[in-house]
Amino acid sequence: MFIYVDVVKKIQATTYIKIRSMDTPAAVRRWEKEKTDYLMEKHGMYLRGEISRHDYIKTVAYKFCARTDL
């Protein structure tokens, strides 16, 4: 009986922590922010007509290609 109560208390504590932390934004990793900023910059350049569609896709595809060095 005591083991069951301990397990329920741990679940409740974990749930309470998750509920309290829902309003806090998740931390953004540095490389995620750099990729997002790069994408926004290139997209803006494309919309302003500074680069062609081909150049836009080529630069964005290169930046977001799959890593093969794992």
Residue 17 lies in a domain: no
In whole angstroms, what separates CA 7 from the centre of its chain? 32
Residue 53 lies in a domain: yes
Q: Do residues 32 and 7 touch, judged by C-beta distance below 8 A?
A: no
What is the pLDDT, as a whole number, of residue 47?
Answer: 95
24 dihedral zone (left: phi>0; alpha: psi -120 to 50; beta): beta
For residue 61, the number of C-alpha atoms closer than 13 Å in the C-beta half-sphere is 6
Backbone φ, ψ for residue 52 (5° rounding): -80, 170
What is the pLDDT, as a whole number, of residue 4?
Answer: 80
Residue 49 lies in a domain: yes
Q: What is the pLDDT along the chain (70 residues), one digit of tens a residue?
A: 677 888 888 888 888 877 877 777 777 888 889 989 999 999 999 999 999 999 999 988 888 777 676 6
Question: Which structural domain, as residue segments, surrounds residue 41?
Answer: 32-64
Residue 51 lies in a domain: yes
Q: Could you give the number of structural domains in the chain?
A: 1
